[in-house]
């Protein structure tokens, strides 16, 4: 298939609210002029299960479904165009929110994990730490499987919030419905 055909199909699926395309930002939190790298999320994790069958909490796919669930909550955000992801040689950050002002700098980020390992192995958060060293005012959260905790391993001795993925999804949904009311 040609690239324009694939691009058109992605646009159709996005217009039908079946998927959402999320674009990447570079180290300077700028979108690329040629958007040849992006992530595609289904709008609900249930779509994956309906197509391919159920998964258990220990399956390898569960981490991807957790990331999809977090993004599915954010799809209701009225400024969804400000949500991106970052990837460079230092690592990746799953959600990067750019402020709506003229600065166009990230003001918060979220790294979605379906594991409690990042608490004991902060090297798994190299992308988040790289973003923090470049933008000292950014706040960050890391989702976990079961643990809620604040860590001071963040550069500048700022708190790094660890929160269970399910609780994070709940809080995003609750805050968005309260904000829209």
Rounded (5°) CA angle 75-180-146: 55
pLDDT tens for each residue of 49-102: 888 999 999 999 999 999 999 999 998 887 888 899 999 888 899 999 988 776
Q: Report the C-alpha gap between 116 and 177 in whole angstroms.
A: 29
Please state which architecture CATH assigns to domain 3-180: Alpha-Beta Complex (3.90)
Q: Shortest CA distance to 100 belongs to which of 125, 80, 124, 70?
A: 80
pLDDT at 146 over 90: yes
Identify any residues that bridge with 109 across adjacent strands, giving them in sequence order.
96, 140
pLDDT at 119 over 80: yes
Start-to-end CA span in the chain (Å): 44
Which residues, in sequence order, are CB contacts of 53 under 8 Å at separation 6+?
none
pLDDT at 112 over 90: yes
Q: Report the C-alpha gap between 84 and 88 in whole angstroms.
A: 13
What is the reported pLDDT for 155? 64
Q: Report the C-alpha gap between 39 and 84 in whole angstroms.
A: 9
């Amino acid at each position: 298939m040609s690239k324009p055909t694939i691009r058109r199909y992605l646009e159709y699926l996005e217009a039908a609210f079946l998927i959402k395309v999320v674009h990447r930002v570079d180290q300077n939190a700028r979108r690329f002029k040629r958007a040849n790298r992006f992530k595609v999320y289904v709008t609900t994790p249930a779509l994956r299960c309906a197509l391919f069958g159920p998964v258990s909490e220990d399956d390898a796919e569960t981490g991807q479904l957790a990331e999809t669930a977090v993004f599915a909550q954010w799809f209701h955000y009225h400024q969804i165009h400000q949500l991106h992801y970052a990837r460079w040689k230092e690592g990746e950050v799953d959600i990067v929110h750019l402020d709506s002002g003229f600065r166009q700098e990230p003001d918060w980020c979220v790294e979605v994990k379906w594991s409690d390992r990042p608490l004991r192995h902060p090297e798994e958060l190299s992308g988040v730490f790289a973003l923090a060293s470049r933008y000292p005012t950014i706040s960050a959260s890391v989702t976990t499987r079961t643990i809620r905790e604040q860590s001071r391993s963040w550069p500048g001795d700022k708190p790094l919030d660890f929160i269970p993925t399910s609780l994070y999804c709940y809080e995003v949904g609750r805050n968005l419905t309260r904000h829209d009311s």
